Amino acid sequence: MITKDIIDSYIEKIPPSPKALKETLMLLNAGELTKASKVAQTDLALSSYLKNLVNKPIYGFKNEVTETSQIFGILGVSGSQQAVYNYMVSLLSPSKWELFKLNATSFHELQAKLSNRWKDILEHLEIKDKDIESAITLLPASIIVSEALFCEKLEDINLLRSVNQIDLNTVLQRLCGVDLFDICEQISQKWDMPSQVAEIIQAASGVKPAKDETTDLLGKWMHLLLFYELSQPMFIEAELNDFIDFQVEYVGEIYDDFSQVMEIG
């Protein structure tokens, strides 16, 4: 069905991050918000993405924000870096979703919700680190990879799942020895993302706890956050709820804290 060769060729086809993005990220890293926004402006698709992103209701701005410099100013260095990474991940998404009932708008919505709630979580955990803040951006890549690898195998997957409760991550792991999160890690390496991003994402799979205590804790929060979002009607209807297995036991110890941060009654 899916072989290691298919995965390798998929990763091969992922383009390196465009020059303008690289430069934007570099300047953001150096704390040069104004210069970064000027470079970002030269990439029209990026500026349009940023504009759509910050004007989503979840950001809660009363007036429409249109200027890239204004957007970067509002988001700050870490928020801007996160937004640029979100944009890079969105570049991987297909023009037409087939496995999941998503579209560009709903996918961006998921990115925005995850990013915003991740920020709340990091505030609660009192963690101020722009790389950790950006880690959340790689999480939706697992959804894009599932779509890319399984979209032509829809019928096979449905039949397989009619006789066995098996999630896409396990199918891939059993068939090829690598899983969705390993592929995300390879994408992050290709894009020169900080290595901590991939480590947190691997832990967020729920099946590969990290050795480092903080990374593992962040993995737990991210795993639970993912399923909090995938339990929203919009994403259940997009058939995302069971694309990977929810590891209830893994996140058990942080649930009470999580429900406080998310204000779950």
Partner 1 sequence: MRALVKNGIGIFTPQGFLDGNNNASFLSIEDIDATAKLNVDMILVSLKKVIFFNRNGLDTFVKMFIKVRASKHITIGFCDYDSKKFTAISKFYKNDINFSLFASQDIAELFSSNYKNQNKNILLYNEDKSQRSAMAIELHDKGHNPIIAQTEEEFKEKSSNANAYDVIIQDSYLGQMGQSIATRVTGNAIIYTVSSFLDAEIGNTFNIAYHNNSLNVGFRLFIFDTYKVISMNVHALNFFSKLSSSGAEYNATICFVGMTFEKTPLSFKETLEDAGIMFFNQMDDILQDKELLEELGASSAAAIANKRVLNKVMVTELPNFIQATVSTIEMMTNSKAAKDTVKINEIKIEAKGDKIASSIGFYGDMDGMVILVFPKEIAKKACELLIGEKTDDMELILDTLAELVNIVGGKIKTLLSDQKISVDITLPRTYPNVDALLEIAEKRKGVQVDLSFDNDKFLFFLTR
Provide the binding-site residues for partner 1, judged by CB under 8 A: 1-3, 153, 155-156, 158-166, 170-171, 174-176, 224, 227-228, 230-233, 236-237, 241-242, 245-246, 248, 251-252, 255, 259, 264-265
- Contact partners, residue 176, CB within 8 Å, separation at least 6: 2, 3, 4, 7
One-letter amino acid for residue 66 of the chain: T
User: What is the dihedral angle through the alpha carbons of 156, 159, 165, 170, rounded to the nearest 10 degrees?
Assistant: -10
CB nearer to partner 1: give 148 or 224. 224
Cα angle 139, 101, 163 (rounded to 5 degrees) comes to 90
Backbone angles phi, psi at 93, to 5 degrees: -70, 145
CB of 161 to partner 1, least distance (A): 7
For the four alpha carbons of 65, 69, 72 and 73, in that order, the dihedral sign comes to: negative
The answer to whether residues 221 and 258 touch, using CB atoms and an 8 Å cutoff, is: yes
User: What is the dihedral angle through the alpha carbons of 117, 121, 126, 131, rounded to the nearest 10 degrees?
Assistant: -60
CB nearer to partner 1: give 1 or 92. 1
DSSP 8-state class, residue 60: -
CB nearer to partner 1: give 63 or 164. 164
Chain centroid to CA 248: how far? 20
Which pair of tokens denotes residue 238? Answer: 């997009």
CB of 142 to partner 1, least distance (A): 15
- Contact partners, residue 24, CB within 8 Å, separation at least 6: 36, 39, 40, 43, 46, 84
